[in-house]
Amino acid sequence: MGKSARALKTQLHPGGAEEARSATPSAQESQYGGRLKSLWRPSPEVSFWISFLVLHVLLFLPVVLMDREDGAILPSFRFAGLSLEQIWTHFAVRRREPDLLRFNSEIVLFVTLWAAIRPLRHVAVRIFFVITYLLVFFYYLYEGASLTFFSVEPVFYAQLRMATEGFSFFLQNARVTTAFVAGTLVLIAGGAALVARIALYVLPDCGPGLATRIALVLLALLIAVQAAFRSDLLARPEMVFSSITAKLVRNIGESRSIYLDVQQIETSESAPSEDYSQFDLVKRPPIYIIFVESYGSVILKRNDWRSLYGELTARLEQDLASAGWHAASALSLAPTWGGGSWMSYTSALFGLRVSSDPQYYALLDKYEAGGFPDLGQFLKEQGYHYYRLTALSMGLPESQWERYASFFGVDRWLQYEDLNFVGPEYGWGPAPPDQYSLNFARETMRSETMEPFLFFTITQNSHYPWAPQPVLIESWKQLNMPGPPPPPSSELIEHAERRQNYWSAIEYQLEMLTDFILSEPNEDAVFVLLGDHQPPRVSRREDGWDTPLHIIAKDALFVASFSEYGLTKGLAVWEPEPALRHEGFLSMFVRQLLTAYGDGAELPLYLPEGIPVGEKGHRPTLTPH
């Protein structure tokens, strides 16, 4: 045995070296201490199972910590009224809520082979295991973040550009210190050392005992049976025994599918949307399209929020009605969940489903010079002036703004620098209070043009982390006064506080937007309020992907006309299922504008699912219900 091996053996078995020493008083104390420690040292079999479980716990710990809505340390087992098959499925096959009592199939199989095949017990194989485990861990971390924040399983091709550009944006605008970088590297190195240490117990030189080998073989057989009958399920995050191989196969397949969609956009000879240039408006009301950040249907699916939402909307609806405003509302199915607002509002404005970053950027690359027949182009052809507002204080290079403005066909893009704001800023960005930004934009538009205008924006103050929130005041101009910045938000808060922060953000948005509508001086104005996606961290996949939609105007007949698409009277939304899709908004809205304010010509079709990418010749025959 080599010197290093003897040293390791001595380290793992303290007391062995001391027993050979003379029994001086200090040596006797050392001997006594070593024996006392040995009383608390578990047997090799117990050490093996503890280490085996710890390796799996580390894989699933990130998603449990991130998913505070559903994540749990241990699963809950309720057997009353369940059949044996249902009990078995819940215990050993799949569970919806994330927990730590789960296993990775490849780790189980690898350890089983190590225990059964003696030639595999080599230090090089152990090193290979440690490196592979770290790669698997980072994939599970990636999957957990994707599920928690966007409620989608990982797709390399869809998320690569978002990740790289988002990281670049983070580095440009965040204050990344040397200590932060050093701490991250130390954390990674410490994690690798921990895994290497645990591997000594999971992959012992002598191999585990007979009982342990039998248990491992049984686990391996269970995995083999699941792989033989439903190998596709092993890729799903809710499986008790999941497979990194199955996950990669699914990921690559989904990546290829999106790649083909992108190729279809790039090779299509014509714009994948309906052409509305042949239609004319006789009356041209000012139109406000306002996307409300993180305004999701989850507020209808939690009893506490649902009650608060009902009280709030009833009060605000009464305020609107007293001033002569009418509202119709429904749920609309968004193409994204928990983030990616640009995909959501592009789907609505362009009339086609944009559900991944590569699709969005393929459209941007192809139509960066403009010309896409979207809502903006249709209204500009009717004599509208197209305004857009982005109030984030951390911006993009001017060349990027020009590219986006050309892509969306915007005539004037109001940015943070145009707001002349000197007061405290809030939340993500950060940004001025939405009350200030929206009112400043309206005052600017009314002073700059006599033409009817289309105004588009997405609110900022309801962006995660939803705290701190500004206060709604009577005079929005008073917000533009220097003052101390609000205290920064923290991730280290209880989940109940995070939920309260979210509700406070939505409450502020609905009250602020109602106040904004009530102060509108033009009697003909039309307002569209639409959520972009469900909020991350406080909702789950089972809540769906739908968000509230509100059409508000003083023209009662125009508002009522949306009932044929499933919108119901009032500001509250109570229907459990979405009545429409974001990609169907363009055709619906243009159709109803022409119905109310057009020249009486034949109306365009309603396309509830938008125009499929690359299939301009395809026209669904569905009509409004």
Tens of pLDDT, residue by residue over 251-305, are 999 999 989 988 888 887 766 667 788 899 999 999 999 999 999 999 999 999 9
Residues 506-532: what's their mean pLDDT? 98
pLDDT at 314: 97
H helix intervals, 293-397: 303-322, 341-350, 357-366, 375-381
pLDDT surpassing 60 at residue 1: no
pLDDT at 625: 30
pLDDT at 342: 95
pLDDT surpassing 80 at residue 178: no
H helix intervals, 491-546: 495-518
Q: Is 253 exposed, middle or buried (0-12, 13-18, 19+ CB in 10 A)?
A: exposed
- Six-digit token string for 212: 């342990």
User: Which residue, 416, 423, 438, 419, is CA-closest to 508?
Assistant: 438
pLDDT at 21: 40
Taking CA 163 as the corner, what is the angle to CA 162 and CA 164, rounded to the nearest 5 degrees? Answer: 95
Q: What is the pLDDT of residues 210-247, one digit of tens each?
A: 999 999 999 999 899 888 887 778 898 889 999 999 99
pLDDT surpassing 90 at residue 449: no
Residues 424-442: what's their mean pLDDT? 95
Homologous superfamily of the 285-421+448-480+492-597 domain (CATH): Alkaline Phosphatase, subunit A (3.40.720.10)
Mean pLDDT of the chain: 86
How many Å apart are CA 558 and CA 563, to the nearest integer? 10
Find all residues with CB under 8 Å of 580, minimum gap 6, and list them. Answer: 330, 332, 333, 549, 565, 566, 588, 608
pLDDT band at 145; cut points 50, 70, 90: confident
Residue 146, SS3 per DSSP: helix
Q: Is 91 exposed, middle or buried (0-12, 13-18, 19+ CB in 10 A)?
A: middle
pLDDT surpassing 50 at residue 618: no
Q: What is the pLDDT of residues 351-376, one digit of tens each?
A: 999 999 899 999 999 999 988 999 99
pTM score over 0.95: no
pLDDT band at 577; cut points 50, 70, 90: confident
pLDDT at 489: 78
How many Å apart are CA 47 and CA 44, to the nearest integer? 5
Q: Is 466 exposed, middle or buried (0-12, 13-18, 19+ CB in 10 A)?
A: buried
User: Which residue, 465, 461, 422, is CA-closest to 438?
Assistant: 461
Q: 468 preceded by cis ω (within 30°)?
A: yes
pLDDT surpassing 90 at residue 14: no
How many Å apart are CA 435 and CA 470, to the nearest integer? 9
pLDDT band at 11; cut points 50, 70, 90: very low
Look at 86-100, 191-205, 382-396 and tell me which has the smallest mean pLDDT. 86-100
Per-domain residue ranges for the chain?
44-257, 285-421+448-480+492-597
pLDDT surpassing 90 at residue 98: no
H helix intervals, 203-334: 210-230, 244-267, 303-322
Other CB atoms within a 10 A radius of the CB of residue 191 amount to 14
pLDDT surpassing 80 at residue 31: no
Pairing between strand 385-389 and 412-414? parallel
Backbone angles phi, psi at 86, to 5 degrees: -65, -40
Q: By percentage, how much of the chain surpasses pLDDT 90?
A: 61
Q: By percentage, how much of the chain surpasses pLDDT 70?
A: 87
Q: DSSP string of 119-141?
A: GG--HHHHHHHHHHHHHHHHHHH
Of 120 and 549, more confident: 549
pLDDT surpassing 60 at residue 544: yes
pLDDT band at 30; cut points 50, 70, 90: low
Q: DSSP string of 294-307?
A: T--GGGGSSHHHHH
pLDDT at 15: 40
pLDDT surpassing 50 at residue 609: yes
End-to-end CA distance of the chain: 82
Q: What is the pLDDT of residues 467-493, one digit of tens each?
A: 999 999 999 999 999 999 898 877 778
pLDDT at 12: 39
pLDDT at 184: 75
pLDDT band at 334; cut points 50, 70, 90: very high
